[in-house]
Structure 1
Amino acid sequence: MVRHGRRSPGDIVLDLDILTAAGTDLRIVTCTAGADSADARKLDTLRACAAPQRC
């Protein structure tokens, strides 16, 4: 459970992908929520609250 201040978005189901660059140790990890889903809206709320002075 992630909490930011007094607000909590609740559980968020995310898809995780790991992208690799051939010939390097570089890895990019992406976490996404399904488009137009309740989880996407919760992630948007959490993102907005993470910005200074927004929540």
Structure 2
Amino acid sequence: MKAPSAPKKITWIIGLISGILGIIGHYAHVQILSEYNYTLLLVGFLVLAAGTTFREI
């Protein structure tokens, strides 16, 4: 089994922005962000997990 690799910069930025938007949607009442806050957090986590698992992402 290979060790996890660092994700590409764009993958890391997409995951980070998605996670931050999910957190903002949880604590602040922004209509679209509040409706999908858990989905945004999940997408951000999955993007970062995929980025460390696969080298091409």
TM-score norm. by structure 1 comes to 0.40
Structure with greater strand percent = 1
Greater RCO, 1 or 2 (C-alpha within 8 Å, sep 6+): 2
TM-score by length of 2: 0.39
Name the structure where helix makes up a greater proportion of residues: 2
Which has the greater radius of gyration? 1
